[in-house]
Chain A
Amino acid sequence: MHAPQLELSRPGRGPMVPAPFEVVAKRRDTVDTWTLELEPRSGELLRFAPGQFTMLSAGGAGEVPISISGDPGRPERLVHTVRAVGLATRAICDADPGRVLGVRGPFGTPWPVEEVRGLDVVVAAGGIGLAPLRPALIELLSRRGEYGRLVLLYGGRAPDQLLYGDQLRDWAERGFEVLVTVDGAGPEWLGHVGVVTRLVKRAELDWTTAAAMLCGPEVMLRFMVTALLDQGVSSGRIYASMERNMQCGIGHCGHCQLGPTLVCRDGPVYRWSELERWLAIREL
């Protein structure tokens, strides 16, 4: 894979043992999505790289992989944006400040923020896929001068389901060209309506030397990659975060196998050129 394997666990605690983290802040992002800020009960900071995830649990409701959406430069607060779609994620979203959640990790491969230095970078997100990309956006902006043009293409279902509205404006002011679209809207929405892949032709950058980081539904990823390849982006410079049924987080159980790889260990961030042959096989 494109990046060296990171340390799987903190010293003194096995990777299968959850650490207690207390919810210290909570914000509702959309009708079914919440951002939780957590602090370790032990005081031991959870340092992570953009793109990594944790296994998060709330009591007996089960454990789920959730990408970290906070600032890598502020490891004192673990930030997760979670959409309530099942038993475990609903229990996590129901957790109010003061409640303790279980955290394992961080796990997985990071976004290649070092490898793409000097290049134009397009970040493309669909729906809640913006959350795993948020640490990379923060990192890119914190070292704005080391990159060429920065473009964020973000698609959502409807205006009231877009994440991080205030931050989108902030990122635009600090150097990202931010293009947002929704699949449908009322006449009060003066922004773009249409599928996110249609934004590609509206972005202005040097596609032939650009790198891309993608996260969203797999069908969106496939069509976004096609649009990027049409513009001349090399598949070796396209990176995507994948989702499979991750359970152990450390490459032992095999539930998240994708071709010869395990998404929890070799992903979730893959270089597209390493991935495309496996995605061409249905139900893999």
Chain B
Amino acid sequence: MKGLEDLIADASVFAGLEPRRLALIAGCAGNAHIRAGTMLFQEGQPADRFFLIRHGAIALEVHSPGTGSHVIETLGEGEVVGWSWLFKPYRWQFDARAIQPARLVAFDGACLRAKCDADHELGYQLMQRFASAMLERLQATRLQLLDIYGDARTPA
């Protein structure tokens, strides 16, 4: 059975970090489980953690009065859930719900921010990785916004 440091080292978002820095990150982490249908976090709540999905799937949702919840993205194995712990005011912008039973690594956001403040190289390395993941998600979201299937210019 893999320890937390191994699980973290295997995640693409932490790939290439030195073992001593992986150990620092693991010091802020713990295992978590969530049942299908359970909310992982909700919009407006304090964003004090983020998650690495080991198994299962998490849906990011936004709730609209009158029309209910709308799924805007699903995340799966090896992906990170949550950026709001990184930036003030540290509040979730969306809901997150498990659509399958999920095993996660949960990270304490305040703990990791404190370690990044004390070790700027760790902070820089993490920011590089998170920025890259966020850029990938931003670009995918832009494509979603294009609604490319709405206008049939594909072969009929």
Contacts and interface: CB of A to CB of B under 8 A. Distances in A.
Contacts of A126: 148-149, 154
A207 B153 CA distance: 29
Given A189-B71, A193-B72, A197-B140, A183 B153 contact: no
Interface stretch (A142-150, A164-172, A214-222): A214-222
Given A184-B72, A187-B68, A187-B71, A127 B155 contact: no
Q: How large is the interface on A (under 10, 10 to 19, 20 to 34, 35 or more residues)?
A: 35 or more
B74 to A, nearest CB: 5
Nearest to B140: A195
A212 interface: no
Contacts of A127: 148-149, 152, 154
Contacts of B61: 187
B27 to A, nearest CB: 29
Contacts of A241: 155
A198 B144 CA distance: 11
Given A192-B74, A193-B59, A193-B71, A268 B149 contact: no
A128 B154 contact: yes
Interface in B68-98: 68-74, 76, 97
B66 interface: no
Nearest to A183: B144
A193 B155 contact: no
Q: Considering residues A157, A189, A193, which has the most beta carbons from chain B within 10 angstroms of its beta carbon?
A: A193
Interface majority SS on A: helix, strand, loop or mixed? mixed
Q: Considering residues B148, B150, B151, B156, which has the most beta carbons from chain A within 10 angstroms of its beta carbon?
A: B156
24 contacts: A65-B155, A67-B155, A85-B152, A126-B148, A126-B149, A128-B155, A131-B155, A132-B155, A184-B70, A184-B72, A187-B61, A192-B57, A194-B73, A194-B144, A195-B143, A195-B144, A197-B140, A198-B140, A202-B76, A215-B155, A216-B154, A219-B143, A219-B148, A223-B143
Interface of B: 57, 59, 61, 68-74, 76, 97, 99-100, 140-141, 143-144, 146-156
